[in-house]
């Protein structure tokens, strides 16, 4: 029998076929993809060299409170941020081969459009 599996029809089978189980639970005969137009992405990275302060965890907290939080509040202004902005922070990243704590921000659009939203 041919069965349609997506988020609405047979969601349990859809979950298993997407890799939610130990293996595939059927043979996929066709796949439908929703494609989006190609959009330029601008990326901003702010990195903190964790190795320098690895012996002093309090320095990490001070750095975050003295640099990351003021940056987010004064420059990025999260409450007013354009929906094309996104990002995340990572406590386990590498910047120029050095382990650290990183703030990754990205903007879906041109650099000029991104600057205009700040």
Q: What is the pLDDT of residues 85-98, one digit of tens each?
A: 888 877 777 777 77
- Asked if 6 contacts 14 with a C-beta cutoff of 8 angstroms, the reply is yes
pLDDT given for residue 103 in this prediction: 78
- Please tell me which residue, 90 or 106, carries the higher pLDDT value: 106
- Please tell me which residue, 80 or 112, carries the higher pLDDT value: 112
pLDDT tens digits along 20-77 = 666 556 667 777 788 888 888 888 777 777 666 666 667 777 777 787 777 767 766 6
Model confidence, pTM: 0.49
CA distance 20 to 110: 36
| pLDDT beyond 70 at 6 | yes
pLDDT given for residue 98 in this prediction: 73
pLDDT given for residue 31 in this prediction: 79
CA distance 36 to 99: 34
Count of Cβ atoms closer than 10 Å to residue 58 Cβ: 8
- Cβ burial of 109 (10 Å; 0-12, 13-18, 19+) is middle
pLDDT given for residue 78 in this prediction: 62
């Amino acid at each position: 029998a041919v069965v349609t599996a997506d988020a609405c029809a047979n969601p349990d089978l859809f979950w298993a076929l997407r890799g939610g189980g130990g293996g595939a639970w059927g043979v996929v005969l066709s796949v439908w993809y929703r494609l989006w137009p190609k959009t330029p992405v601008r990326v901003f990275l702010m990195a903190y060299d964790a190795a320098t302060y690895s012996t002093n965890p309090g320095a990490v907290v001070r750095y975050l409170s003295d640099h990351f939080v003021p940056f987010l509040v004064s420059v990025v202004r999260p409450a007013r941020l354009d929906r094309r902005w996104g990002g995340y922070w990572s406590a386990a990243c590498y910047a120029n081969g050095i382990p650290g704590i990183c703030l990754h921000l990205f903007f879906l659009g041109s650099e000029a459009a991104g600057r205009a939203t700040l």
